[in-house]
Amino acid sequence: MTIEPQDYPPLSAEEFKVYNRAAEQMDYFHGFLRRSWNILWEAATSGRRPAHISMGQFLTEGLRFAEHLEIHHQIEETRIFPYLAKRMPEFRTGRGRQAAELLRQHREIHAGLEGFQEYLDRCLHGDEELQLDVLRGKMEGWREVLWTHLDQEVKTLGAENMRRYWSKEEMARLPM
């Protein structure tokens, strides 16, 4: 029987801080991804690259975003999620629909990220000229799942959920 969050006594401010540490750390890293995405998305939807950023810097920002997202997910999938999956079904691996939703989201994100990254790489190397409407098309297909994922992952790591699976002492040992 799983104990639901409403069955627990309220957390003190100190307990909340302990149990919410993973969510805060994840949100911190997600903040960098959100800022980079927003720079790219604003340009792609407005049709104007930011005036203070050269074309090379803009393309590098996009490729850096892709690299950071890939590394972030790789760390999650190899180090953090397997540890959390020992107790939390939200992080369990599996094939197809058996995989936890957060892992399925990773696959959807990376399916879109691949075309995005390839396009920017071709533009950076002069094989193609950057067209912001094309960039928008490369971002639109996975935009919603990315933003849902960033929010859902932080919520899943939030204090009320974490307290269901981990003690305060164990929280200090989480690989975050």
Q: What is the pLDDT of residues 10-25, one digit of tens each?
A: 999 999 999 999 999 9
Q: Please tell me the distance from the alpha carbon of residue 18 to that of residue 110, in angstroms, as a whole number.
A: 32
* Domain residue ranges in the chain: 13-46+53-172
For 100-137, how does the pLDDT look when each residue is reduced to its tens digit (9 = 90+)?
Answer: 899 999 999 999 999 999 999 999 999 999 999 999 99
Confidence of residue 5 (pLDDT cuts 50, 70, 90): low
Give the angle 103-109-115 at the CA atoms, nearest 5°: 145
pTM value? 0.89
Q: How far apart are CA 115 and CA 128, in angstroms?
A: 14
